Amino acid sequence: MTRKPALILCLIGSCLVQLIVVASSHAIPAFSRAYKVECSTCHTIYPELNEYGEAFLKNSYVYFGKGQKAAKAKEAAPAPKATAKPAGGAMEVRGEGDADKLSKLKGGALGAAEASSPEPAQEAAAPDAAPGGEAKPEGLLLAAIPELLPISFTASIHATYDHNAVNELDLSTRALKLNAGGNFREKVAFFATYVAYSENTDNILNTNTTSTTPANNSTNINELFVIWRHALDTPINFKVGRMQPKLGLWKSNNKLSTTNSFAPYAYTVGTSEFKLEQPQDALEANAVLANRFFVAAGVVNRKYQNTKEGYGHISYKFGGADYLANEPEVDLAKEESIFDFLTVTVGAYGYYGKNGTPNTTEGGLIQNTYYRSGLDLDILYKLFRLRVAGVLGKDDNAYLSTTPTEVKSYVAAVEGEYTFLQNLIGAMRFEYQDDGRGLVRRYIPTLAYAPLENVKVALEYKHEIASAYKSSVSSSAQDFTNKIGTLGVTFSF
């Protein structure tokens, strides 16, 4: 009787004593090194993005600084004089044939150097300076090669207590990832995540947390894509490679919790492994329109399928900094209003696809045609944030049977988040999942603390209740309850 409380108190005590936040793909220390800014510039508690982090992501890893202040500083700065230097004493190096463009490159008006918005006096005095003020090699400027290798590592270690697992108390190394990202003169961007080690769970409801199964380990490329930014001088960005298609408002890692993904993005139906947050080989076009409207559409190339899958996303942001990181004008003479602190983002998406037997020929093969349509809502008011996500789905042959079984799915999640201190945030999430196999409800409180901007300790608890649920292993329906506590440490460097 005393064993469980003691273990739970041990986990809580460890968290309170250490009070150690996270790391993620699409937000890596390599960006901090390149632009010489703090992680908190783009994050609440890493890797959860704030509005400047969202602008950075939506603009293909081009940093705008903190809005209009940076833009005004650049406008006020005097244009540096053209100072093309002879190469080898015989030929002048002029960039793309334009001495003035070379001078601006060296002064920081193009490429990553522009982002730092140096003071006018500094820019005039040191046209060859990099964002940090030191001289940058001319060859690297002309070749558009980053001076600092844009590579980071992310690691996570967890201690988990799960009464239903083989090992009730399990200490495990969950993941080690290599991340790389950046842009070349703001024309072409890239991002990659290589999973050196990842310990996954076996059970569909994530009840197995042991580290004793070698098959859990996997080494693979999670994401690898390039972006042609503002193609042909239009607002459109073309993105190609292995990526997580732009569907919901938040990427799978853009959350406070380290182990529990949002159910609307992570659930599966029948025997299919498809989920919205799954990285896939795709071609996507996206754009920021009128500063606050974001649209994206893409085509997915599913392996072993002749047919292609398609998706689309739209979202709009009311209040706060826009998608170009421009802050709203504040009228100091006006009486303070609730709308001065309110930011609301609304998004909608749809996905249509087909999976099943490889259709090298069309006759008599078993296929499942499916769609997902969802709505997301993100509300931020001062220190409080509310996230609401819901998705509807339909599969016409969910179990890939000769006798098709149509399944309709309904999944929703609501999460409230409050910032107690700049580096201490708490959240409470409720999830409802009806995926055709039964009903599942989850209650997930999370407390995260960051003693350093690249280190996070998160204490999580998941109370999961399943009613008449059929697992992928057994077709017999059963009721059960899972209670899983996790203390996780994630760091990036």
d(CA 257, CA 21): 10
Q: 290 vs 144, which has greater pLDDT?
A: 290
How far lies 12's CA from each of 166, 286, 290, 427, 445, in Å? 22, 43, 47, 16, 13
Task: Specify if 291 maps to a domain.
Answer: yes
Average pLDDT, the chain: 77
> Does 275 have pLDDT greater than 70?
yes
d(CA 147, CA 136): 8
For residue 46, give the nearest of 414, 385, 492 by alpha carbon: 492
- Domain coverage including residue 344: 151-492
- Angle, vertex CA 93, rays to CA 89 and CA 95, nearest 5: 175
**pLDDT digits 0-9 by tens, 210-259:** 333 334 456 788 899 999 999 999 999 999 999 999 999 998 878 888 88
Total domains in the fold of the chain: 1
Task: Specify if 127 maps to a domain.
Answer: no
**pLDDT digits 0-9 by tens, 318-368:** 998 888 888 887 766 777 788 888 999 999 999 999 887 775 545 557 888
Q: Which residues pair with 154 in a beta bridge?
A: 177, 492
Task: Specify if 49 maps to a domain.
Answer: no
Task: Specify if 293 maps to a domain.
Answer: yes
Predicted pLDDT at 486: 92
d(CA 378, CA 344): 6
> Does 108 have pLDDT greater than 60?
no
Contact 200, 175 (CB under 8 A): no
**Mean pLDDT, residues 151-176 taken together:** 83
Q: 53 vs 299, which has greater pLDDT?
A: 299
**pLDDT digits 0-9 by tens, 79-95:** 444 444 444 443 344 44
Predicted pLDDT at 51: 82
Contact 225, 243 (CB under 8 A): yes
CATH code of the domain containing 290: 2.40.160.10
Task: Specify if 32 maps to a domain.
Answer: no
Q: Where are the alpha helices (DSSP H) in 38-147?
A: 51-58, 68-76, 99-107, 120-125, 138-143
